[in-house]
Structure 1
Amino acid sequence: MTFIVREIAEGVILFRILNRVTEKFENFWPIPRGTSYNFYIVRGKDRTALIDGADIRFSDEFFRALEERIKVEEIDYVITQHAEPDHSGTLAEVMRRASGAELLGTKQALAIGASLSNYPLERAREIKDNERLELGGKTLRFVVAPMIHWPDTMMTFLEEDRILFTCDLFGSHGASEKVYFDEDYFELADYYASILMPFPAMVANALQKVRALEPRILAPSHGALHRHVDSILRTYEDWASWKPKGRALIVIGSQYGNSEILAREAADGFREEGIEATLVDSSYAHPDDLLALTLESSAILIVSATHNGRPFLGVRYYLDLLEEYKPKNRVFGVIGTFGWGGGAGKYIKDFLESLKIPVVAYMEAKGKPGERELREARELGKLLAIEAKKLLK
Structure 2
Amino acid sequence: MKIAENVYWVGVRDWNRRIFDALIPLPKGTSYNAYLIIGKNGKALIDTVNPGFEKDLEDKIRSLTSIEEIDYVIMNHAEPDHAGAIPHIMEIAQKAKLVATGRGAKIAQIYYHVPQQRIKVVTDNEAISLGDKTLRFIEAPMLHWPETMFTYLEEDKVLFPCDFFGSHLAGGIYSDEIEDLLVHAQRYWGEIMMPFRAMAQKALEKIAGLDIRMIAPSHGPIHRKPERILSAYKQWAAGETRPKATIAYVSMWGSTDAMVKQIAETLTSEGVELAFHNLAVTDVGDLAKDLVDSRAIILGTPTVLGGAHPLAVYVTYLFKVLRPPTKFAVILSSYGWGGGAIRQIQEILGDFKIEVVGALEINGPPTNENMKHIVEIGKALAKKIFEVGA
TM-score class normalised by the smaller sequence = over 0.9
Aligned to 1:164: 159
| Ranges in structure 1 where 5+ consecutive residues have no aligned partner | 1-5
Aligned to 2:341: 344
Contact 1:267–1:276 (Cα < 8 Å) also in 2: no
Aligned to 2:115: 120
Question: 4+ residue runs of structure 1 moved beyond 4 angstroms?
Answer: none
Q: CA deviation at 1:204?
A: 0.9
The amino acid of 2:56's aligned partner reads: E
1:260–1:164: structure 2 CA closer, same or farther, 3 Å change rule?
A: same
Contact 1:267–1:378 (Cα < 8 Å) also in 2: no
Counterpart Cα distance in 2 of 1:254 and 1:367: 12
Q: Write the mapping of 1:137-148 to structure 2, written as runs, cut at 5 A.
A: 137-148=132-143
1:181 aligns with 2:175: yes
Partner of 2:314, secondary structure, is: helix
Aligned to 1:299: 296
Contact 2:327–2:353 (Cα < 8 Å) also in 1: no
Counterpart Cα distance in 2 of 1:260 and 1:126: 56
Counterpart Cα distance in 2 of 1:313 and 1:123: 48
Contact 1:74–1:98 (Cα < 8 Å) also in 2: yes
Contact 1:37–1:54 (Cα < 8 Å) also in 2: yes
Match of 2:387 among 356, 365, 390: 390
Q: Deviations over 1:274-331 (max 9, x none)?
A: 1121221112223332222111211111111111111111110011112222233521
Counterpart Cα distance in 2 of 1:329 and 1:312: 22
Aligned to 2:279: 282
1:311 aligns with 2:305: no
Q: CA deviation at 1:210?
A: 2.1
Aligned to 1:322: 319
Contact 1:52–1:88 (Cα < 8 Å) also in 2: yes
Counterpart Cα distance in 2 of 1:387 and 1:127: 48
| Ranges in structure 2 where 5+ consecutive residues have no aligned partner | none
Counterpart Cα distance in 1 of 2:292 and 2:15: 27
Contact 1:172–1:224 (Cα < 8 Å) also in 2: yes
Contact 2:317–2:349 (Cα < 8 Å) also in 1: no
Decide which moves more: 152-161 or 371-380: 371-380
Counterpart Cα distance in 2 of 1:47 and 1:262: 65
Contact 2:54–2:88 (Cα < 8 Å) also in 1: no
Counterpart Cα distance in 1 of 2:69 and 2:217: 24
- TM-score (ref. length: structure 1): 0.94
Decide which moves more: 131-140 or 18-27: 18-27
Contact 1:259–1:304 (Cα < 8 Å) also in 2: yes
Counterpart Cα distance in 1 of 2:219 and 2:154: 22
Q: Deviations over 1:127-176 (max 9, x none)?
A: 11111111122111111111111111111111111100011101110111
Partner of 2:11, secondary structure, is: strand
Decide which moves more: 63-72 or 262-271: 63-72
Q: CA deviation at 1:25?
A: 1.3
Contact 1:349–1:359 (Cα < 8 Å) also in 2: no
Aligned to 2:254: 257
Aligned residue pair count: 387
Q: CA deviation at 1:352?
A: 3.1
Q: Deviations over 1:327-386 (max 9, x none)?
A: 335211111211222221233245435323210122222212222222222222222111
Counterpart Cα distance in 1 of 2:351 and 2:119: 46
Partner of 1:303, secondary structure, is: strand
Counterpart Cα distance in 2 of 1:379 and 1:227: 49
Match of 1:8 among 3, 26, 29: 3
Q: Deviations over 1:61-84 (max 9, x none)?
A: 111222222211121111111111
The amino acid of 1:199's aligned partner reads: F
Counterpart Cα distance in 1 of 2:15 and 2:195: 27
Please report the RMSD computed on the Cα atoms of aligned residues, expressed in angstroms: 1.6
Partner of 1:36, secondary structure, is: strand
